[in-house]
Amino acid sequence: MKTVLCYGDSLTWGYIPDGSGRHAFRDRWPQVLQAELGDGVHVIADGLNGRATAYDDHLSGFERNAAKTLTTALGTHFPLDLVIIMLGTNDMKHVLCGNAFGSKRGMQRLIEIVRTVPYQFGAKAPAVLIMSPPPLGGDGGEEFKLIFEGGIEQSHLLAGFYNNAALLAGCAFFDAGAVATTSSIDGVHLDAENTRAIGKAIAPIVRDILDL
């Protein structure tokens, strides 16, 4: 049995763009990936709304800084064969980070954490697949413009920066924006069709990494 941890934000959690709740279990990309891979793989979804790569959000009652929480997730779920990380959307908030280079540095820190955690019982560090989220888009209204000031343009740079980070680290990379687009409703989140598309698209990549 292979084990895969999908670590992300609201795009992994399954946030519905109109704010009405959470996508059905079968529509969230980690569960779609599970269905594609079959019973020989256990896919774990760990998505938190508002999570950033390595930046603090003091307005939330939850710890949203992945650099502070990833270690706990790894320690909870190991042994792991693969960790998939899709973060960066919330980094585009100018009060947190606001630029794609900062997100790249945050993602590099997360890769480092996955590889250096003191796993117990002789467990080895898992492989890493980093994914750039679909770029921000649409018109989410005045609050969106204030929160993500300059973020739309920066979000389009994430794929290039993450690809470079993956090359430097020797890990796998996938641009989720190649198969999915954010909803025009809020410009941030994904409808069911687009979140399903991510799970289907990465299945062949995951099979290759896991030698399935």
State the DSSP string of 165-211: HHHHHT-EEEEGGGT----TTTSSS--HHHHHHHHHHHHHHHHHHHT
What phi, psi does 204 have (nearest 5°)? -65, -35
What's the confidence (pLDDT) of residue 163?
Answer: 99
Q: Whole-prediction pTM value?
A: 0.97
For the chain, the structural domain boundaries read 2-210
144 pLDDT band, cuts 50/70/90, is confident
pLDDT at 145 over 90: no
What is 2-210's CATH topology?
Rossmann fold (3.40.50)
Q: 176-189, pLDDT tens digit by residue? A: 999 999 999 999 99
What's the confidence (pLDDT) of residue 142?
Answer: 80
Q: 86-126, pLDDT tens digit by residue? A: 999 999 999 999 999 999 999 999 999 999 999 999 999 99
